[in-house]
Chains A and B, each alone.
Chain A
Amino acid sequence: MNLRMVTTIYSKEMLDMFRDKRSLISMIVVPVFAMPAIFGVVHYFTESLGKKALQESTRIGISARVSQPGVRGALKISGFELVPQADARAAVEKKTVAAALDEKIGADGSGQITVFMDKTREASSIAGERITALLERLKLARVKTSLRGMGVSEGVLDPFQVTSTNVAPDQKMASFILGSVLGYAVLLLMFTGGMYPAIDMTAGEKERHTLEPLLASPASREEIVLGKIFASTTASFLTAILTIGSLLIAIQRLGMGQGGEELEKLVTRAAPGVGAMALILLTLLPTALFAASVMIAVALFARGFKEAQSLLTPVIMAVVVPAVVGMLPGLELNVGLSLIPVFNVSQLIKEIIIGEYSPINFATAFASNVLYALVAFWISVRIFKTESVLFRS
């Protein structure tokens, strides 16, 4: 193995890559601008739609049949605008009001109030839940008044107290959320970021007929593949670094905006320190090598760019599944699960950010990912040496 050959191929691929618009978009533009843009849009819509829903939730319908004492007064005091409705259900269905109340007399002569709401509309859900809670409080107040009238202590209604406490500190909760999102986003973008460079330096070269002069040069197939894989690894790793950076900055920026208090807390409490960041990057390094080797091996089968894109789409889908599973709560990494590629990284990132990773699991995942990367590299070389694949027409 001649190192000069490998570095020459690597330098050529890097130069070519940084002049390719498609590679630059997937490698730099998407992680740097798309992540903050996605967060910004989601944040904007969540906030503005939430405000609008809250505003709309105050307008509710009420049937003339609602005659329970204190109900109308309590609703008005709580800020609801009461709109008389002959048909409460129809009013909600037609979206005339956010929610509506109706009352009928039951067989035992007691009043039965029905709250109509449309749970597919946020404003209706908010209104319905607020009305229900208010009526429950009103009912309880009337029961207490009756008990007092009968000389019975209110305590019979509340023989013991129940409280629930989340033992996870806020930081852990924030870290869990951040770690889950980060693991998924980084893995997905790492593969998509390395995809175009991998296609360009394999199927792209075939399509442009630049592979033949390279193969006829004194560089061996191993040296050529290694140079290409290192360049594609650089692309994937660069995408990972940019994704992490832009994601943290996006959350921080949005946290400083209106109503972003929770996000601000999240990033200030959960943002990984230097040590954790170094561990995350160390975790991602063999995965970048693995991603590059797999994508180069697959893209080599294609005759051209479009065919390579079609071949690599299932690879990206295959990455999404373990990355999404890694986001689910309740899953904890053990030695066995540390052997599953992609999933192990997604879990490790989460655990590193939470600060509860096991060195054994880390070592197992790291070693297995290095092994997978080497196997994928070996397969790439084998494919690169296969005439029927290289000169497929």
Chain B
Amino acid sequence: MIQVSGLTKTFRDKARGERAVVDCISFDVRDGEIFGLLGPNGAGKTTTLRMLATLLKPTSGRAMVGGHEVTAEPAAVRRMIGFLSGDMGLYHRLTPREILRVFGRLNGLSEERLRTRIEEVIDMLQMRDFAGTKVDQLSTGMKQRAALARTLLHDPPVLILDEPTSGLDVPTARVIEEFILQARRSGKCILYSTHVMEEAEFLCDRIAVINDGRIRIIGTMTELKAATGHERLREIFLDLLDDQPKKAAVI
């Protein structure tokens, strides 16, 4: 469902000149799979997800989402995806129900379908108590459930989730995780970015560790363990992050 090949994104700034934030990465995500993109802050995770969501144009390389190329057919790609970031991006003066109405219409749901679907996701995410309350009066957990509802509303086959449990307490994070697992069971293709090791280990079928814009390793947990000789993802991750300076020192 998602195929990424040699994807690169460079930015130019006065201080550092032109630099590759994402440097020739390749991976694919299948239907019914949760693919974790694991990396420290500034590794290139968000830029990668933004390119796949057509918010940013790749400098080079190719990315297909649901059979559509992100640069050539951005509108078709956007119709296939549900995009959620840790910032949630909810209009704080609107209620979750009003936000769902806006995004349902933008995603082309008919008025009749929109009405029933809104009630479905409100029930599904246990939002009935606060669906009519303005977002700025909601707790972080409620907000994240509302943001997830917005992402799932049009039932997209591809979910692009950028640190969706960031800043959430354990019970709320658990609710979100449960829904992600449920989405996998229903056959959705899920690209999941995080820097929480336990979460990646628990949720993801395959994991790619990204640092300095490059993918350091890709595989299932078993494959990662075998390749690195470490048992825990945290150790694998730290080892891979340390790898580059060591290599640089040798060179």
> Which chain A residues have a beta carbon within 8 Å of chain B's beta carbons?
4-5, 8-9, 11-12, 15-16, 19-20, 208-220, 387-388, 391
Contacts and interface: CB of A to CB of B under 8 A. Distances in A.
Interface size grouping (class) on chain B: 20 to 34
Given A209-B89, A213-B150, A391-B55, A219 B106 contact: yes
Q: Which of A5, A19, A216 has the most CB of B within 10 A?
A: A216
B53 A216 contact: yes
A5 B55 contact: no
A8 B93 contact: no
A206 to B, nearest CB: 11
Contacts of A387: 56-57
Interface in B64-83: 75, 78-79, 81, 83
A11 B57 CA distance: 29
A15 B135 CA distance: 14
Contacts of B103: 213, 217
A77 to B, nearest CB: 71
A78 to B, nearest CB: 66
Given A16-B94, A216-B81, 12 more contacts: A8-B102, A16-B93, A19-B94, A19-B134, A209-B88, A212-B55, A215-B55, A216-B78, A218-B78, A388-B11, A391-B50, A391-B56
Contacts, number: 77
A154 B194 CA distance: 105
Given A213-B150, A218-B107, A12 B102 contact: yes
Contacts of A4: 105
Most buried by B among A9, A213, A388: A213
Contacts of A388: 11
B133 to A, nearest CB: 13
23 contacts: A5-B105, A8-B102, A8-B105, A11-B102, A12-B102, A19-B93, A20-B93, A208-B91, A208-B92, A209-B87, A209-B88, A210-B89, A211-B89, A212-B50, A212-B89, A213-B89, A213-B103, A214-B89, A215-B53, A216-B83, A217-B103, A218-B106, A387-B56
B48 to A, nearest CB: 14
A4 B103 CA distance: 12
B106 A217 contact: yes
Contact of B90 (A9, A210, A391): A210
A9 B103 CA distance: 9
A387 B11 CA distance: 10
B93 to A, nearest CB: 4
A388 B56 CA distance: 10
B154 to A, nearest CB: 9
Contacts of A216: 53-55, 78, 81, 83, 160
A212 B87 contact: yes
Interface of B: 11, 50, 53-57, 75, 78-79, 81, 83-85, 87-94, 98, 102-103, 105-108, 134, 147, 150, 160
B53 to A, nearest CB: 4
Given A16-B91, A218-B75, A5 B83 contact: no
A215 B81 CA distance: 12
Contacts of A391: 50, 55-56
Nearest to B80: A218
Contacts of A19: 93-94, 134
B178 to A, nearest CB: 22
Nearest to A390: B55
B85 A212 contact: yes
Contacts of A215: 53-55
B97 to A, nearest CB: 12
Contacts of A11: 102
B91 A218 contact: no
Contacts of B150: 213
Contacts of A12: 91, 94, 98, 102
Nearest to A216: B83
B91 A217 contact: no
A5 B92 CA distance: 21
A216 B88 CA distance: 13
B153 to A, nearest CB: 11
Contacts of B98: 12, 15
Nearest to B98: A15
Contact of A217 (B92, B107, B160): B107
Nearest to B82: A216
A220 B75 contact: yes
A195 to B, nearest CB: 18
Nearest to B134: A19
A217 to B, nearest CB: 4
Contacts of A213: 83-85, 89, 103, 147, 150
Contacts of B102: 8, 11-12
